[in-house]
Amino acid sequence: MTMAPRTDTRSATPHVADTHDLIRVYGARENNLKDVSVEIPKRRLTVFTGVSGSGKSSLVFSTIAAESQRLINETYSAFVQGFMPTLARPEVDVLDGLTTAIVVDQERMGPNPRSTVGTVTDANAMLRILFSRLGRPHIGSPQAFSFNVASISGAGAVKFERGGKTVKERREFNVTGGMCPRCEGMGRTSDIDLSQLYDDSKSLNEGALTIPGYSVDGWYGRIFSGSGFFDPDKPIRDFTEKELHDLLHREPTKIKVDNINLTYEGLIPRIQKSMLSKDKEALQPHVRAFVERAVKFMTCPECGGTRLSEAARSSKIEGISIADACAMQISDLADWVRGLDEPSVAPLLTTLQQLLDSFVEIGLGYLSLDRASGTLSGGEAQRVKMIRHLGSSLTDVTYVFDEPTTGLHPHDIQRMNGLLLRLRDKGNTVLVVEHKPEMIAIADHVVDLGPGAGTAGGMVCFEGTVEGLRAGGTVTGRHIDDRAALKKSVRTPTGTLEIRGATANNLRDVDVDIPLGVLVVVTGVAGSGKSSLIHGSIPAGAGVVSVDQGGIRGSRRSNPATYTGLLDPIRKAFAKANGVKPALFSANSEGACPTCNGAGVIYMDLAMMAGVSTTCEECEGKRFQAAVLEHKLGGRDISEVLAMPVEEAQEFFGSGEARTPAARAILDRLADVGLGYLTLGQPLTTLSGGERQRLKLATHMGDKGGVYVLDEPTTGLHLADVEQLLGLLDRLVDSGKSVIVIEHHQAVMAHADWIVDLGPGAGHDGGRIVFEGTPADLVAARSTLTGEHLAAYVGA
């Protein structure tokens, strides 16, 4: 290849275009930020640190990334913007030097039961094309291998204009899909216990239906009673075969009830659409309890859980069907694809190979493509989202990461560091919100926010290098080199929890005795089988309180007071002191301001432009009617109580006229997990990830249970907060509880009484117990990856 001769015309003075090498933020006021001004170097790795709730996410995600995405959206036409999420301009005076932002957050992937690792990363799309070209026997186009496309056929007359005349012709059509007809591509079928749907000794008018929302007075109850297909006063056990079929299975039929046109549908298809087609965890608690009681889920006997039709499973490449390929561990699938030599599809094989190798490189080689995306942890979901960016040729992009080390073993953190540095070295700006010292150490630039959390934070405490942070005297600087020491003596177990023959997911017939009455830490590389062993083998029945990584669901009407159940004793205390109903003291019930319906703001939808929220003029944002605010408890009205921080509320409900022991107990638990600065009425949507995790922990601490199972409780916690968490775990154990923690943080490992280490690798390379014993023995043996990293951490 020849290149034209180039004359270097660059002068000593830089071109004006090269002077825009900073992202400038002036006067940021989102959430708790207090007029923050900061300059962030481009094409460098900048880490944002600070205690949980100090304003890191508000600065990085709600200000910088949000404005970048808003400006990009504005480049599209108004028509296209109407289909895109509308974003308001952040509360900031100046934002300058922004580049295109790609946000890789920890939001779990949507719990759509049809979504798998393969569908969300486009790996399935490529496999479907591959099998439609090379699979033998040939069964059709790529959609013939899709479990989301049903096979359908039809025929009929069609009309069209030809030569000025309307011509009618008969046409037939066929669509060959890959969906299993029995389970409709879900991979599992449901068997419904009819005795849980109705009491057959009663009539419909006597309340025979026992399904949530189907009461006699409810809307569904009226539809069934007034349908005319059966006598609503006749006990269900006396129904004829046709009447019972109409009640349970009738196809959608137009009916009229009380002069209203409605569609009647049998109980079972209606339940399947409204409850069974949704992710069980997304249902309301009482509906979820009904589904667990009434429905038995099992692997589809026709497709064996593969979701695919028999035809799709019959087409193979070198003896492997698409179902076999999706069930393989991704690292094995990558080797199989590498062995295919077919020039006709070479570009496809190359792209698929690169995608699968990215999974392995990022430490997710242990997954399979048929894994439901809703079952991924927050850290796994984040890394799956990273995959599409690893091989990207784009440069001068701002990548924004939210704690990318979540769920990673110390061994895997080194690999993640390498990936972030590679993104930077391609000429990109990398912004990372992080707490782990291993990741802070590789930063080119550090921005430390604080000094405290909530209203005590929101200011820049330090800006500069990692060395400068260490010497800076901030909370992060003081704790960055903290190392928890091994315990001199460990507690004696009071009993054992026996697990025998555990085979969930990748576990290999594991037998282990977990000591009770002590602090047990279960560790191992990501994908080694920790969660499978604990969540899959310890019965979640009586005496076991499990606090997992699942997100907190809640609207802007939800707050710590409603989520923890704290509002109930507060409302009762107000009602008793004033001789009125408790419902008056709920902004979601009778006490709500009629103008804003208890929201405190009035929202104006402006179509493709960002909606505008204005404080309600009637209640001035207090959310309650004026009459309600006249009722006092201890000299405060309900809106003033909800504006209190937890620490102030502890004092308020702990003594004097407002003394309420039930409320004080919940407040004490919130303070125990380090949330003393949160206000009781702060919307859940404004809490950081670490705050939500601790709020969940505080709620479960009130449960009556002897065994606590915590899944990575250090997620989102600052180094200083980890110390407080260790104290909390000690208090739980000393109060007679058994605490089992699934964790990667070396400080928690060093603090344990007993360690169970799984491995040695991930996926089919893991699933075995590689060590059981005290942390001191693990450090002394150094026989596992965990042992090596823990020894380095404690300086042994």
End-to-end CA distance of the chain: 57
| Ramachandran area for residue 195 (φ above 0: left; ψ -120 to 50: alpha; else beta) | alpha
What φ, ψ does residue 140 adopt, rounded to 5°? 145, -165
Which of residues 579 and 3 earns the better pLDDT score?
Answer: 579
Q: How are beta strands 519-523 and 738-742 bridged, if at all?
A: parallel
Residue 146: which of 115, 121, 124, 130 has the closest Cα?
A: 124
pLDDT band at 757 (very low <50, low <70, confident <90, very high): very high
In degrees rounded to 5, what are phi and psi of residue 386? -65, -25
The whole-number pLDDT of residue 714 equals: 84
- Give the pLDDT score at 227: 77
Q: Is the pLDDT of residue 270 over 90?
A: no
More confident residue, 448 or 541: 448
Give the model confidence (pLDDT) of 450-468 as tens digits: 888 878 889 999 999 999 9
Strand partners, 633: 636
Binned at pLDDT 50, 70 and 90, residue 796 comes out as low
Contact by Cβ (8 Å): 701, 564: no
Q: Quick one: pLDDT at residue 551?
A: 63
Mean pLDDT of 173-177: 84
The pLDDT value recorded for residue 6 is 55
Give the pLDDT score at 452: 85
Q: What is the DSSP string of 766-788?
A: --EEEEEE-HHHHHHH--SHHHH
**For residue 2, how many C-alpha atoms fall within 13 Å in the half-sphere facing its CB?**
2
Distance of CA 46 to the CA centre of its chain: 25
Q: Is the pLDDT of residue 224 over 70?
A: yes
pLDDT at 608 over 70: no
Query: Is the Cβ–Cβ distance between 51 and 27 less than 8 Å?
Result: no
Q: What is the mean pLDDT of the chain?
A: 85
The pLDDT of residue 361: 84
Residue 296 pLDDT grade (very low, low, confident, very high; cuts 50, 70, 90) = confident
Centre a 10 Å sphere on the Cβ of residue 262 and count the other Cβ atoms it contains.
Answer: 16
Q: Is the pLDDT of residue 21 over 70?
A: yes
Place of tokens 């449960």: 703
Predicted confidence at residue 108, as pLDDT, reads: 67
Q: What average pLDDT score do residues 139-157 get? A: 89
The mean pLDDT value for 771-795 works out to 90
What mean pLDDT comes out for the span 249-277?
Answer: 80
Other CB atoms within 10 Å distance of the CB of residue 221: 20
| DSSP codes of every residue in 447-511 | EEEESSSGGG--EEEEEE-HHHHHHH-SHHHHHTT--PPPPSS-PPPSEEEEEEEE-STT--SEE
Res. 750 pLDDT band, cuts 50 70 90 = very high
Q: Helix 567-578 to helix 661-672 angle, to the nearest 10 degrees? A: 150
With a cut of 80, say whether residue 556 has pLDDT above it: no
pLDDT in tens, 557-576: 888 888 888 999 999 999 98
Cα 495 from Cα 595, distance rounded (Å): 59
Beta bridge partners of 189: 298
Q: Tell me the per-residue pLDDT of 364-394, one tens digit each, with 9 for 90 and over.
A: 888 999 988 877 776 788 788 888 777 677 8
Would the pLDDT of 610 be above 70?
no
Look at residue 504 in the predicted model and tell me its pLDDT: 80
| Residue whose structure tokens are 């699979």 | 135
Please check the confidence at residue 603 and state whether its pLDDT lies above 70.
yes
Closest-CA residue to 431 (of 120, 685, 97, 691):
97
Q: What is the pLDDT of residues 695-748, one digit of tens each?
A: 888 888 777 778 888 888 888 788 888 888 888 888 889 888 899 999 988 999
Query: Using CA atoms, how far apart are residues 275 and 58, in angstroms rounded to an integer?
Result: 36
Which residues contact residue 637 at a Cβ distance below 8 angstroms, ignoring those fewer than 6 apart? 624, 628, 629, 630, 631
pLDDT of residue 94: 92
Tokens standing for 374? 């809703």
Where does the pLDDT of residue 495 fall: very low under 50, low under 70, confident under 90, or very high at 90 and above? confident
- Predicted confidence at residue 323, as pLDDT, reads 94
Angle between helix 346-361 and 123-134 (nearest 10) = 150
pLDDT of 779 reads 92
d(CA 563, CA 203): 38
Q: What percentage of the chain has pLDDT greater than the value 70?
A: 94
* Average pLDDT of the segment spanning 619-628: 87
Residue 530 scores a pLDDT above 80: yes
- Residue percentage of the chain with pLDDT more than 90: 28
pLDDT digits (tens, 9 = 90+) for 636-672: 899 899 989 998 999 999 888 888 999 999 999 888 8
Beta strands in 607-673 (DSSP E): 609-615
Neighbour tally for 736: CB within 10 Å: 9
